[in-house]
Chain A
Amino acid sequence: MTSPDTPTPSAAGASASGGAVRRPTGTTFTRWLGAAALVGMAWLVLFGLVLSPDDALQKKGVRILYIHVPSAWLAYLAFIVTGVSSAAYLYKRTRSLIWDRIAGASAEVGVLFMGIALVTGSLWGRISWGTYWTWDSRLTTTAFLFITYIGYLAVRGLGGSHHQRARRSAVLALLAVLEVPLVHFSVRWWRPLHQQESVAEGKLDDLMLFSLFVGIVSFTLLYVWLVLHRQRVLSMADAVDDKGLDGALAARRAEQEVSS
């Protein structure tokens, strides 16, 4: 998907004259991926809200879990990807800015999914236990991870050359990998497990398991699609930075041509 292609004259002509670019960050692969994700999400809504049955214990509350659990898992996956990409950037033999962009894109999507997980989890908790929040280690660590990565994204915006940004962010990400288990264990010791609620209580019947499965697959497809596009946007942003003033002038000229 990132193999270089020799630019065709017509495509180059189209962007130079300022006409709308038809596929800014899309490729055939991402078109299919996006369509699959969209279909998956539609199925998720259908199964989650309509077709799946109520749970014996939780009644309707389990429907929130079909989005809460996948979004939480994908958020954790996103942060693992950020950590691994950061390490890949720092390791001399694999040093390349694409790792930095994947780390940044994955962190941003991870923050989105983590926010969704926290909100849906809170609403689910309200239905199931009557409280919007509880200080168990999983929930508290999740909130900490959320805030930590917002800080990470803020540091990514501090400026400097691409490699300075990459190095700084990568180190910060690895420090976050160090910090999160420490937070998790200290909260767990602080509020021991027997006071904590567990998410999966009782058995899920087949249709419910299937709904959860649809959720996980859809969110995974969505995650990959979002990260691919986001890191391509980051790549273009870096290119624009490199071209600097020239790019801004060309854009201004392009706008004038289109509007005149």
Chain B
Amino acid sequence: MTLVAVARLVAAKDLRIEWRSRVVLNQVMPFAALVMILFAFALDNDAALTRVAPGLVWLAALFSMLVVVQRSFAVEAADGALDALRVAGVRSDGIFLGKSAALALQLAVLEAVLLLAAVVLYQVDIGAGSIPLLLVTFVAATLGLSFVGTLYGGLASGASGRETLLPLLMLPVVAPVLIGATRATEAALGTNGASSSEGWPWVGLMVLFGVLFGAGGTLAFGSLVDE
């Protein structure tokens, strides 16, 4: 089968599983909202919250993402589905791209909810002028995050005792996305006097990141999940 065909099938499978089980919707979304509320408890300063809101949104996104990635591979580990796919000869690069696509979609919904929470809880103002940069930032960041999440999620899944490795492996790697997405979001929203023009170089960095890990992941995924 062609790469695109395999990817499409795997993505559809993952999304269908989520649609039927609604785990991300029912469990991860509330967790994400909870994280946003806990930040407010910890920081206890409305002005500070509004100022650091972009960072908090992306931090909450990263922490919630850990759960989503683990869920993405938990559905494979049960009944050894991933191994079965590989043994059946399904190409690993197709599986990688398919799972990344499904993950990206779930992350996008998650990020939208987090942004909404920031508007409501942290009094973040989104002007019409902010929207283009904001949109591109979220797309570029989500791209990189879903590639890295699928790649390391695959490695950290399977045999017991591995799931705890996911945060340690993944979070250092996504640091550039955290920095870039936060700075670009600040630029889009005008936080701390940042102007829109400062955000676009960060978008460039995130696109580069996404391309590099998309390519790297496509090549490496098979080696990391094959047992």
Contacts and interface: CB of A to CB of B under 8 A. Distances in A.
The answer to whether A and B touch directly, with their CB atoms under 8 angstroms apart, is yes
A258 interface: no
Nearest to B164: A154
B155 A168 contact: yes
A144 to B, nearest CB: 5
Given A167-B223, A178-B213, A179-B172, A158 B180 contact: no
Contacts of A148: 172-173
Contact of A183 (B176, B208, B224): B176
Interface in B140-164: 151, 155, 159, 162
B155 A155 contact: yes
B166 to A, nearest CB: 10
B216 A178 contact: yes
B99 interface: no
A186 B176 contact: yes
A174 B155 CA distance: 14
Given A178-B216, A182-B212, A190-B183, A151 B159 contact: no
B179 interface: yes
Is the interface on chain A under 10, 10 to 19, 20 to 34, or 35 or more residues?
Answer: 20 to 34
B84 to A, nearest CB: 18
A147 B170 CA distance: 11
Contact of B224 (A168, A178, A185): A168
B121 to A, nearest CB: 26
Given A168-B224, A182-B212, A186-B180, A150 B168 contact: yes
Contacts of A58: none
Interface string B183-227: 100000000000000000110010011001100100010011011
Given A158-B162, A164-B227, A175 B220 contact: yes
B175 interface: yes
A185 B205 contact: yes
Given A155-B165, A167-B223, A172-B224, A144 B172 contact: yes
Contact of B159 (A144, A158, A172, A174): A158
State the main secondary structure of chain A at its contact with B.
helix
A24 interface: no
Interface string A142-174: 001001101100110011100010011011101
A186 B220 contact: no
Given A158-B162, A175-B216, A189 B205 contact: yes
Contact of B175 (A158, A172, A183): A183
Nearest to B182: A190
A182 B176 contact: yes
A139 to B, nearest CB: 14
A150 B213 CA distance: 21
12 contacts: A144-B175, A151-B168, A155-B165, A158-B162, A171-B220, A175-B151, A178-B216, A179-B172, A182-B176, A182-B212, A187-B179, A189-B183
Given A175-B173, A183-B172, A183-B175, 7 more contacts: A160-B227, A171-B223, A178-B213, A179-B172, A186-B179, A187-B175, A189-B179
Interface of B: 151, 155, 159, 162, 165, 168-169, 172-173, 175-176, 179-180, 183, 201-202, 205, 208-209, 212-213, 216, 220, 223-224, 226-227
Considering the complex of A and B, which 8 residue pairs feature the smallest CB-CB distances, nearest first? A186-B176, A171-B223, A182-B176, A186-B179, A151-B169, A171-B220, A151-B168, A179-B173
